[in-house]
Structure formats: structure tokens, C-alpha cells
Amino acid sequence: MTSSLGNTASSRISASSSPGVRLSLHPPSSFSLLSFSSSFKPFAFSPLSSHFSPHQRRSAVNVSSSRGFGTVASPKCAASNPDQLKSAREDLKQLLNSQFCHPILVRLGWHDAGTYNKNIEEWPQRGGANGSLRFEVELKHAANAGLVNALSLIQPIKDKYSDVTFADLFQLASATAIEEAGGPKIPMKYGRVDVSGPNECPEEGRLPDAGPPSPADHLREVFYRMGLNDKEIVALSGAHTLGRSRPERSGWGKPETKYTKDGPGTPGGQSWTVQWLKFDNSYFKDIKAKRDEDLLVLPTDAVLFEDPSFKVYAEKYAEDQETLFKDYAEAHTKLSNLGAKFDPPEGIVLDDTPVQAVPEKFVAAKYSTGKRELSDSMKQKIRAEYESFGGGPDKALPTNYFLNIIIIIGVLAILTSLLGNY
């Protein structure tokens, strides 16, 4: 995984008429992706450098010690509006296509959800996807360095769609970024409830490091605490196919390579893959090949092909992108739901596939008259006759069929009567 890229944006403390000190955070001209970490060399997940427009550079992200990112604290138990979620998703797609910010938005969702502790039952003490990352106290965690830039990017979308919770917006942005980068469709649900204040943020130290003494043990310690297994650890690592690392921020990687010197976005840094804005299985192929010194391999990356259990999945994903996509989508979905409290409890699904009506089961007696129950053999005969005329469980016979049958029966009755007189 990667180190946390991007120093926290420069800050300016100004007087405010509201209670508490308001910290105005101004984003630098570039940012990083997924940092999952807690120490001075945090575990960052695909950092990405991207260009901010002049308007974005002038805009400030206001983070209050008492209220957090944005201007209005989200109330508890407030479900997101489905129509606004759909519209926000379209706005996120436009943002991704114009700012090339896929990695940092993936990182935003991961870091909000990745604080989950399965051993704690109470919400929000258990951490997870609850929108707590918008508060200054959590943004200042070492693993979250630079994520103020992600908040700056999505703030206009949050302002536009006020009935979408931060927790949902973070996860919507993360899943949409994966899909827009060419990755698998992530089966998501929404309706996550936001925490209401910074006192409900998790303590620092729940996210992984990039270079621990024992990478395999460290990854298992962190991800097992979330309730994830070895396959899910390796599959999620595949998202390192996105982004790049900058040594001046994280302590990892080269200042520039032939793959990053021209951007897109602000040039520089070292990527894990050649096409570092495309989601595929190149991450596993390149680690296995070990033939390109311009591509980044962290200790937590290399261990995927060294640890016997991890290696089984890493080898499979290097050979089979379809399997990677399937396993990654399942793991991403699981991660995005960790620790969340949903309102409504079953969540909100945006992309429901219409359920086809189940044909009515054929009941022979339904097409017969009389009060006596027919035998099974008679039912089968009636069904066969009915279907021979074009009828069925969900298809009534045309009126002319019934008329013809009545005429035939009438003719037969007359003939029988006439013949019986001779």
C-alpha cells in the first residue's frame, strides 16, 4: 500500500464570531490518493497529484474544531435523498474527468471506513463509514495528510446536494472513481448516518503503515480488526494501480519518473503502474515482474508475493483480471459498509434492476367449470388441450377459439342426437 502523500494543506487561523477557532485550510496545487496509515510514514493507497484550477486555489475549506468540514453539521439519523445521490454521482463523474482526481477520492472513502473496529459494538465508537473524516481532529491524523484537498474538491457537490450525508458522499465518490477509471461496477448501498461532532471521531492509529518491520503481520493486524481476510487484503491492494507517491510528503518514492514527469496534473512523484489513472491488474503484473525501477514497490506491496497465503491471490490476480475485478468489487463493497449505521436500515440502492414478473403457475381447475375437483390425469389432459389452442398460464385464448369450440360441441351434440334416433 502506499504512504500518505501530501502534507496537510497550509493553514491559517482567523478570528470567527462562532464558538471555537475556525481553521481555514487552503489546498496546495496537488494532492495524493489513498493513505491508510497512522505513523510518520503512513500506509497510503494510490496517491495522485492533480491540478487545481485558479478558482479552486482561491477557495478555502473551512474546518471548525466544533463543527467540521462545510458550514452545517449533519444531523444524526438523516438518510440521504436518492434523487440527490444520483445527481451527485453525475457531478462526481464530471469532476473526475476534469480534475483526474480518482486516487484521492478513492482514498477519501477508504480512510473514512478504514477506522472500523469489529470488536466495538457501539456506534459511532466502532469507527467506520460515518463521515467523521470531515472534522479537523481526524483530518490532522498523519494518515490523512492531504485529504483536505479531497474535501475541497467535493465541497461544491455537498453544498449543492445538502440532503446527501458526508458518509454517503465519501463512499459514493470512492466507488465512482473506481468505476470511472475502468474498474469494476461496485454494488453499493446508501443511507449512511453522519456523526454529529468531532468528539465522535476515532482515535489516531487505526490505519496501516507503508513500511512496518513485519509487513504481513501488520496488514493482518489492521485488516483483521476490520473483519477482512487475506483475499480481501490482496484484492484491495490492487487499487494501488491508481496514483503515485511523492517523497517530499510521504518519504516514499522518487521525485519524478518517465511515467509522471508530464502529469496529468502537477508533474512528479512515482507511480505503481505505467498507466496510473487506469484500473486494471497491472499492479500485480508489475510487482511480479520486478523489471522496472521507475515503478514503486513498497514493503506492503512486495509482501503480497512473499507471504504464502497472500501469494496465492496475488498470483491469481496477475494472471486473471476478471477474477480481480470480481473479488475487488466484493471487498470494496464490504469495506464501504464497515461500521455504518443505515437509515433506512436496509439502505438505499440506486441501480435496482427491475424484477421480472414470475409467470402464474398453471392450475387446470382455473380453466374448468363445476365444483368438483378434477383428477390429476384430467388436469393434464385439459392443460394439454388448452395449450394446443395457444393458451397458457399467462396467455388467455382468443375469443374466437372459445366460439369455435362451442360450435363444434353443438354440432357433435346434434349429430349424436340424430344418430340416436335411427
Residue recorded with cell 503512513: 42
CATH code for the domain of 310: 1.10.420.10
Residue 62's CB is within 10 A of a number of other CB atoms, namely 18
Are both 86 and 166 inside the same structural domain? yes
Distance CA 349, CA 354 (A): 12
Residue recorded with cell 498470483: 315
Evaluate whether residue 353 is within a structural domain: no
Q: How far is CA 342 from the centre of its chain?
A: 15
Q: How many domains does the chain have?
A: 3
Distance CA 243, CA 47 (A): 4
Are both 263 and 316 inside the same structural domain? yes
Evaluate whether residue 55 is within a structural domain: no
Catalytic residue among 111, 141, 218, 240: 111
Long-range contacts of 283-290 (CB under 8 A, 24+ apart): 283/237, 283/238, 283/239, 283/240, 283/241, 284/238, 284/314, 284/317, 284/318, 284/324, 285/318, 287/314, 287/318, 288/314, 288/315, 288/318
Are both 144 and 192 inside the same structural domain? yes
Q: Is 37 exposed, middle or buried (0-12, 13-18, 19+ CB in 10 A)?
A: buried
For residue 216 the three cell numbers come to 504481513
Are both 153 and 228 inside the same structural domain? no
Are both 168 and 230 inside the same structural domain? no
What is 339-378 written as a DSSP string?
T--BSSTT-B-SSPPPPPPPPPPP-GGGGS-SSSPPPHHH
Distance CA 206, CA 111 (A): 10
- In three-state secondary structure terms, 68 is strand
* Domain termination residue (choose one: 172, 200, 228): 200
Evaluate whether residue 10 is within a structural domain: no
Evaluate whether residue 209 is within a structural domain: no
* Domain termination residue (choose one: 300, 325, 350): 325
Are both 219 and 116 inside the same structural domain? no
Evaluate whether residue 355 is within a structural domain: no
What is the phi/psi pair of residue 52, to 5°? -100, 140
- One pLDDT digit (tens) per residue for the chain, 422 residues: 443 333 333 333 333 333 333 333 333 333 334 444 433 333 444 434 333 333 343 333 455 454 555 544 444 444 799 999 999 999 999 999 999 999 999 999 999 999 999 999 999 999 999 999 999 999 999 889 889 999 999 999 999 999 999 999 999 999 999 999 999 999 999 999 999 999 999 999 999 887 788 999 999 999 999 999 999 999 999 999 998 888 876 778 899 999 988 888 778 989 999 999 999 999 999 999 988 999 999 999 999 999 999 999 999 999 999 999 999 999 999 999 999 999 999 999 997 533 333 444 445 554 444 445 556 666 666 667 666 666 665 555 555 666 777 788 888 778 777 776 66
Evaluate whether residue 167 is within a structural domain: yes
Are both 219 and 244 inside the same structural domain? yes
Q: Whole domain around residue 233: which residue ranges?
A: 215-325
273 in Cβ contact with 313 (< 8 Å): no
CATH code for the domain of 193: 1.10.520.10
Evaluate whether residue 87 is within a structural domain: yes
31 in Cβ contact with 48 (< 8 Å): yes
Answer yes or no: 111 catalytic: yes
Are both 119 and 182 inside the same structural domain? yes
